[in-house]
Structure 1
């Protein structure tokens, strides 16, 4: 596991927006302020709670985003079996580095049947 760090403002803003899209009130959810980057932060994925504490339960919401190089990105906010936020996972179609971090205005809810 990587070292934990303080969540960045842009990450917190996006998480709060995704929770709202998922029909949750972000003010009623404990959003951990310490996170761990996946893949050294290459694509932007972060972990909020230790998988060993409580494993993955389900996706809360999945959104799509187009990075500044035109490459589609899927962002998924997940929860664990304790109903805590588990991670915010970024998947860039070509697996390249995320160039521009998304903002609430630049993401849209992804249709579950839509292929990216």
Structure 2
């Protein structure tokens, strides 16, 4: 468990804004064991369950490799995880600048 970084907070805040959500962002996070791709959980005790996607999309890391992401909510509609998948499974080099993010339209059907 650690404090959320400024770049993580900036990214999560931006994604929530783009999704039209006004949700509390916890100050503490738990890094996920993802091989260094940068995923974090707001479920510090590991007792909550993923319920739905808030928003998803992609960006390119500084090495040009595509990174897909998904911000999810738990069963209480609280922020649950920010999952990042670098398509070549390498270590994330940096979080994106906000203008580099491409949001994927969410299909509810």
Normalising by structure 1, what TM-score? Answer: 0.83
* Residue 7, structure 1, aligned to residue 1, structure 2: no
Q: CA deviation at 1:44?
A: 0.9
Long gaps (5+) in structure 1: none
* Residue 56, structure 1, aligned to residue 50, structure 2: yes
Instruction: Report if the CA contact (8 A) 1:56-1:81 is conserved.
Output: yes
* Residue 95, structure 1, aligned to residue 92, structure 2: no
Alpha-carbon distance in structure 2 between the residues aligned to 1:75 and 1:18: 10
- 1:37 aligned to which of 31, 39, 42: 31
Q: Deviations over 1:14-69 (max 9, x none)?
A: 000000111113xxx211110010127711100002442x3110110001101111
- 2:77 aligned to which of 79, 83, 86: 83
CA gap of 1:57–1:5, structure 2 versus 1, over 3 A, is same
Structural RMSD (CA) = 1.8
Instruction: Report if the CA contact (8 A) 1:51-1:86 is conserved.
Output: no
Long gaps (5+) in structure 2: none
The structure in which a higher percent of residues are helix is 1
Alpha-carbon distance in structure 2 between the residues aligned to 1:112 and 1:20: 15
Q: Report the equivalent of 1:17.
A: 14
